[in-house]
Every structure is written in structure tokens, then in C-alpha cells.
Amino acid sequence: MLTFLFPLAALAGAVTAKSSSTAENVSACCSKLSETYPDQLVYAGEERFKDWNDRWAASAELPASCIFRPLTADDVSLAIKIIAKGAGQGCHDFCPFSIKCGGHTPWPGANNVDSGVAIDLGYMNQTVVADDKTSVTIGGGTRWHDAYESTDGDGIAFLGGRCPSTGVGGLTTGGGYSWFSGEHGFVSDTVINFEVVLGSGKVVNANKDTNADLFKALKGGSNNFGVVTHIEIAAFPHSQQVYGGLVIVPESSSDNVLAEFQHFTNDSTGFAANAGLTVEYFLPAEGEGQILLWLIDTDAEDDHATLQTFFDMEPKIVNQVYQTSIADYPTSIPPVTQVLMADVTFENDLDVIKAAFDITMEVRKTLSHVPNLVWDFQFEPLPRHFLKASQAAGGNVMGLDDVDKDLLILFLMPLWEDPEYDSDVRDAAELWFHKIQEYTQSVGKAHPFEFANYAASFQDPMGSYGAENLQFLKDVSHRYDPGQLFQRAVEGYKL
Ligand SMILES: Cc1cc2nc3c(=O)[nH]c(=O)nc-3n(C[C@H](O)[C@H](O)[C@H](O)COP(=O)(O)OP(=O)(O)OC[C@H]3O[C@@H](n4cnc5c(N)ncnc54)[C@H](O)[C@@H]3O)c2cc1C
């Protein structure tokens, strides 16, 4: 899927004699930005560079030429105008750039750029609650924990990341799975307005009345249309208290866990919309693996009946279940070194779940030579309840509008330490992805949806939304970005 960037240097040289080289363009972009914003730009080699270039996964760190931290949408606007012009000697001059919010996408290039301009939106991190408390407007570089902490005590809730250190910009434009999704759909379904800087540098709003096509495209369309500088998200009254946490059981409980997961994800067996569950297998290279059951009841006063089976599972290794505030729910995962994420979607059928589990364990064997590999994978429910809430919210672009089945996402997230094994793990993940797809297709239980937020660089989430949605995204891209800056100059899941 990663169509990025036919070799930029070759392009720059080939198209017109007046075009500048990529290096000239980047040097011009960095120095123009530095002149205007001396305190908001660092060059590679400067003392602050290492801190500014930090990512959740070391695997995502690339040697950008300079990092720019805008404070306002106008700063982003000027940066995009500079980037689109490059050294300005030919119509094909531009600077390769990247957009980073929470920096949680682990593949190199998703939120960073080798020898280009890295835009880090981290200073745009304010959260403002509307006077009537029906919405919050969040800066495009905010991490969810800051949004939750800023609104702690306001008596409201809104959809956002389950892992609070993930970013608002990336998670929302990639769709967004929240603990409140069972009741309200994807995070992007609850967006009221996106403020976006387009490829021309123009700052526009996109909502149901203004630029409605762009509004829809941004609900799953990732970084293909512009830099999102502010997002207004619907809020609703809430005690801000939830009940849940983490139960860890041994790997030997797997059969029981998978059966209960299937039951939980089956809408007709009583899935409560306010209950959330992620089943995470954490299998280190040595010793017995663990199954982490991330559990939540977003209604702390509820009887938690849907989750009781999981609370009661024995034997337990860890039992940390209690009432807590949304801001304190314990799911942050500390920074890691090498990590890869990939995902597939299929129907919630126990035989298929077990077969997918077996395939996942088989593929693990191909990596037995990778030192200290943690084979981590997660089952995440996408029951009809969730999908109907999403459909009722008015539509996104992810191709799930007509689904009337319980689905689930299987999300692979191996962790390792030595970059020498990057390509081995990537090959294994690709093999895993194709094997699961092949198998689920062969038994008629596949679904094409690839959740952008967990997708590997070899995946094509935008294509997985279906031909019609992909064409819609392409049309919107041409309408709002006629120069195709966001297709040519920034990496991501391109159209
Ligand atoms: C530990 C962990 C927990 C997670 N939990 C969840 C979860 O609960 N729910 C869920 O849905 N996903 C979850 N994810 C996946 C996560 O949503 C994606 O990795 C997402 O892309 C992260 O967004 P970010 O802003 O942190 O990442 P970044 O890597 O900064 O951005 C991701 C992509 O979005 C683009 N982007 C970021 N900000 C903007 C912007 N303002 N305008 C335009 N483009 C932008 C970037 O260019 C990049 O391509 C989790 C991931 C991890 C590692």
C-alpha cells in the first residue's frame, strides 16, 4: 500500500532542469522556517534534537533534517506553504515532510521523515470544553491523557484512545477505537468539526454543513488531506468514573478465554454496550506466556454482569480491577524499541478464532531465532452493537456501513530489541496477514476491513474500505489538494 514517494531525488532531477534537488529543497524549507520561528525549530545535531525526535517506538525514529513545532494553525499554514514551495525553482520542488501527533505508529516514515521536515504538533495540545459542555475542542497534537486530565472534574466524557499516551490527531483520523465505542461507534464518528490546513496552506473547517465531503473523508482517511489542527468532539454528561482494569491469566487458560471472548463479542448473547474488552496474548521468548484481559465498564454504577466471567477467571496472575476515573484508567504502555503492528478483521466464529490463533502460533515459530522476541497479539471485539452505533452516527469512510455481523479485529504486535531482525519480523507479519486472510476467505468468514490505526506499512487500509470509498477519497483528495502534496510529500497509507 505504501505508494510513497517515487524516488524524490530522481523526480526532482528528471522533471525539469530548473527543479532543485531534494537536499536543496529541504535546506531551504528548514532555513525559512528557522528564520520565522527560531524557537520552534531544531536542526539535526542540535542538543534538543534527540528529545524532540523521540517516538513511542525507537523503530519509528528517523534522521529528519529539522523538526518544526507549530503553535497555531497559522504556523502550520505558513509551514505548509514553505514545504510546498521548497527551494522554489521548479513546479516539482517541495520538501518531504512528516506529521506527528502522539507518535505511536511504529513503522519508520509514518510520523517521521529521513532527510526532510518533521512537523511535530506537540505544542498544539490545548483542550477547551464548550460552555454548554456538549463538546470539547482539542489541539491536533494533543495526547489523550492531556485531554482527559484537562476535563477531569467537568462531569463529561467523550470518545478517545484507550491508551492515553496515543495522539488525538492520528487516532481520530485513523478511525479510533474507544472504551465508549460500544455505545457510540468509532471516535471519528463523534467528531463535530475538523480544522484542517490544506496543501495550499488554506485553513478550513470540515463539518456536516461545510466541506462535508472532506469531513467524511477525514473519518478514517488518515493524513491524506491536510494537517488537522483542531478537532471538536461531542461530549456527554458522565460521572467520569469507570470500573475495570487488568486481569492476567496464564497462557494455559487460552481455550476458555477464546470461548468467552467469542461469547462477549456475540451481540445476541447479551453484549452490554458499556462493557469493553481486549484480550492480549503476551508470549515472551522464554517461560509461560500470559493473557492480559483489559476490562472496563464505562458505567461504574452498573452491575458489570457482562464482564463478570472475566473478573472471576481462575487461576489469576494479576487482579487489578477497581473503580477509577477515566483519566487514571491504567493502559499506558511504556516506550518500546522495535515493534510492528498489523491487523486483520473477520467474523466472530469460535472455530475461526481458534484457527486464526493456531496460524498466529505457527508463524511465531518462524521467528524462534530472534532474541527476546515477545509475540504479542490481541483480539478486539467489533460487535454489531458497536457497528450499528457507528452507522447511526452518520457515516465514516471505512466501509463498515452495511455490516450486520459481529466482527473482530486480530491485531499482531511483536516486540523485539535488535533492528537486525526487522526484516525477519516484517516478513513473518506479512506471512501471518496473508495466511489469516487466505484462511478466513476459504471458510467464508473474512472481512476486508484493515483498521488503519493498527496497520503495517505493507497493508492497504484505504483500499480495504472498498472501491467506492477509495474512489471517494481520491476525488476528495484531488478537490482539496489539487497539487497532491499530501500524496507526494508525506508518507502514510496513501490513496
Ligand atoms: C500502545 C498503543 C495503544 C493503542 N491504543 C489504541 C486505541 O485504544 N484505539 C485506537 O484506535 N488505536 C490505538 N492504537 C493505535 C493508534 O491509534 C495509532 O497508532 C495512531 O495512529 C496513533 O496516533 P498518534 O497521533 O499517536 O500517532 P502518530 O504516529 O503521531 O500519527 C499517526 C498517523 O496519523 C497522522 N497524523 C497524526 N496527527 C495528525 C494530524 N493532526 N493531522 C493529520 N495527520 C495526522 C500521522 O502523519 C501518522 O501517519 C494504539 C497504539 C499503541 C501503540
The residue whose CA has the least distance to atom 9 of ligand 1 is 177
Residue 339 pLDDT: 96
pLDDT in tens, 47-63: 999 999 989 998 899 99
Is the Cβ atom of 2 under 6 angstroms away from ligand 1? no
Q: Is the pLDDT of residue 174 over 50?
A: yes
Is the Cβ atom of 462 under 6 angstroms away from ligand 1? no
Q: Is the pLDDT of residue 332 over 70?
A: no
pLDDT in tens, 62-95: 999 999 999 999 999 999 999 999 988 766 789 9
Confidence of residue 395 (pLDDT cuts 50, 70, 90): confident
What are residue 160's DSSP bridge partners? none
Q: Is the pLDDT of residue 344 over 50?
A: yes
Residue 334 pLDDT: 74
CA distance 139 to 227: 11
Question: In sequence order, which residues have a C-beta less than 8 Å from that of residue 199 and are 6 or more positions away?
Answer: 80, 84, 226, 480, 481, 482, 483, 484, 485, 486
Q: Which of 86-95, 261-270, 364-373 has the highest mean pLDDT?
A: 364-373
* Beta strands at 407-412 and 97-100: parallel, antiparallel or unpaired: unpaired
Cell numbers linked to 372? 527476546
Exposed e or buried b per residue across 279-295, where buried means at least 16 C-beta atoms within 10 angstroms of its C-beta = bbbbbeeeeeebbbbbb
The residue whose CA has the least distance to atom 38 of ligand 1 is 169
The residue whose CA has the least distance to atom 19 of ligand 1 is 105
Cα–Cα distance list, 418 to 50, 194, 421, 423 (Å): 20, 39, 6, 11
Q: Ligand 1, from 67, 99, 339, 449: best to mutate by most atoms within 8 Å of Cβ?
A: 99
Confidence of residue 409 (pLDDT cuts 50, 70, 90): very high
CB 110 within 8 A of CB 60: yes
The residue whose CA has the least distance to atom 2 of ligand 1 is 163
Q: Ligand 1, from 83, 111, 178, 198: best to mutate by most atoms within 8 Å of Cβ?
A: 111
Quick one: which atom of ligand 1 is closest to the CA of 56?
A: 53
Question: In sequence order, which residues have a C-beta less than 8 Å from that of residue 442 and are 6 or more positions away?
Answer: none
Is the Cβ atom of 70 under 6 angstroms away from ligand 1? no
Residue 150 pLDDT: 96
Residue 16 pLDDT: 45
Quick one: which atom of ligand 1 is closest to the CA of 226?
A: 43
Question: In sequence order, which residues have a C-beta less than 8 Å from that of residue 434 and are 6 or more positions away?
Answer: none
CA distance 223 to 121: 13
The residue whose CA has the least distance to atom 31 of ligand 1 is 170
Residue 431 pLDDT: 98
Is the Cβ atom of 167 under 6 angstroms away from ligand 1? yes
Cα–Cα distance list, 139 to 127, 150, 180, 399 (Å): 6, 12, 21, 27
- Would you say how long the chain is, in residues? 495
The residue whose CA has the least distance to atom 33 of ligand 1 is 170
How far does the centroid of ligand 1 lie from the alpha carbon of residue 176, in Å?
8
Helix (H) or strand (E) holding 261: helix 254-265
Residue 90 pLDDT: 67
Q: Which domains does the chain have, with CATH numbers?
A: 8-123 (3.30.43.10), 127-238 (3.30.465.10), 241-467 (3.40.462.20)
Is the Cβ atom of 55 under 6 angstroms away from ligand 1? no
How far does the centroid of ligand 1 lie from the alpha carbon of residue 287, in Å?
32
Mean pLDDT of 416-433: 97
Residue 333 pLDDT: 72
Residue 143 pLDDT: 96
Mean pLDDT of 7-17: 40
The helix-helix angle for 254-265 and 350-365 (nearest 10°) equals 130
CA distance 409 to 436: 12
Is the Cβ atom of 112 under 6 angstroms away from ligand 1? no
Is the Cβ atom of 163 under 6 angstroms away from ligand 1? yes
Q: Which of 191-195, 266-270, 320-324 has the lowest mean pLDDT?
A: 266-270
Q: Which of 208-217, 263-272, 426-435 has the lowest mean pLDDT?
A: 263-272
Is the Cβ atom of 173 under 6 angstroms away from ligand 1? yes
Q: Ligand 1, from 163, 233, 412: best to mutate by most atoms within 8 Å of Cβ?
A: 163
Confidence of residue 331 (pLDDT cuts 50, 70, 90): low
Cell numbers linked to 386? 458497536
Mean pLDDT of 136-164: 96
How far does the centroid of ligand 1 lie from the alpha carbon of residue 174, in Å?
7
Residue 14 pLDDT: 41
Residue 7 pLDDT: 39
CA distance 96 to 73: 20
Quick one: which atom of ligand 1 is closest to the CA of 490?
A: 47
Between 115 and 334, the more confident residue is: 115
Is the Cβ atom of 139 under 6 angstroms away from ligand 1? no
Confidence of residue 335 (pLDDT cuts 50, 70, 90): confident
Residue 13 pLDDT: 36
Q: Ligand 1, from 61, 453, 494: best to mutate by most atoms within 8 Å of Cβ?
A: 453
Q: Count CA atoms closer than 13 A to 241's CA, side-chain side.
A: 6
pLDDT in tens, 449-491: 999 999 999 999 999 999 999 999 999 999 999 999 999 999 9
Quick one: which atom of ligand 1 is closest to the CA of 102?
A: 26
Is the Cβ atom of 176 under 6 angstroms away from ligand 1? yes
How far does the centroid of ligand 1 lie from the alpha carbon of residue 474, in Å?
22
Residue 206 pLDDT: 98
Positive or negative, the CA dihedral 406, 439, 219, 146 is: positive
Mean pLDDT of 403-432: 97
The helix-helix angle for 8-15 and 22-36 (nearest 10°) equals 100
CA distance 175 to 455: 12
Q: Is the pLDDT of residue 252 over 80?
A: yes
Q: Give the phi and the psi of residue 130 in degrees, each rounded to 5.
A: -65, 150
Mean pLDDT of 409-420: 96
Q: Is the pLDDT of residue 434 over 60?
A: yes
3-class secondary structure, 306: helix
Residue 270 pLDDT: 63
Question: In sequence order, which residues have a C-beta less than 8 Å from that of residue 473 and are 6 or more positions away?
Answer: 217, 221, 224, 397, 462, 465, 495
Mean pLDDT of 7-32: 69
Residue 421 pLDDT: 97
What are residue 242's DSSP bridge partners? 324
Neighbouring C-beta atoms of residue 350, cutoff 10 Å? 14
Q: Is the pLDDT of residue 11 over 50?
A: no
CA 72 vs. chain centroid, Å, equals: 23
Across the chain, mean pLDDT equals 93
Nearest of 163, 152, 145 to residue 129 by alpha carbon: 152
Residue 294 pLDDT: 96
CA 365 vs. chain centroid, Å, equals: 28
The helix-helix angle for 73-85 and 22-36 (nearest 10°) equals 150
